[in-house]
Amino acid sequence: MSESTPENGDKLNPDQQQQLLFVMLIQQHEQIAMMGMGKVQNPATGKSERDLKAAKYAIDTLMMLQKFTEGNLPGELGSYLNQTLTNLRLNYADEKKKGDGSDQKENKKADTEGSNDKEN
């Protein structure tokens, strides 16, 4: 039988358990967003995959959580949520600037079609 440790929440008081669960919720959405931005490998596939819609959904969910918990979080939890959102927003903006790759594919296709027209 394994020994209870604070890491698994067994020895925490109810308030501490709630705070731990809140941090875990933030971390889950952070992980989803980072996977969606291709910054972290998908554990199911072992590959980095970009899905900016999924990333945005996770970030928007954390923003909603921030809005509805404003003024009700202990200082360190509010700071953690703010810091996480700032990091995710900056990373998302960088990834959005890169585009989703479809613009580049369309440009290559147009260039190829344009050069074929010139040859004819």
pLDDT digits (tens, 9 = 90+) for 3-47: 444 466 678 999 999 999 999 999 999 999 999 999 999 889 999
Check: CB of residue 39 under 8 Å from CB of residue 45. Answer: no
CA angle 74, 66, 8 (to 5 degrees): 55
Residue 72, SS3 per DSSP: coil
Residue 42, SS3 per DSSP: strand
Residue type, 90: L
pLDDT tens digits, one per residue of 38-68: 999 988 999 999 999 999 999 999 999 999 9
Residue type, 114: G
Per-residue confidence (pLDDT) for residue 114, from 0 to 100: 52
Cα–Cα distance for residue pair 117/51, rounded to 1 Å: 35
Closest CA to 84 of 10, 27, 12: 27
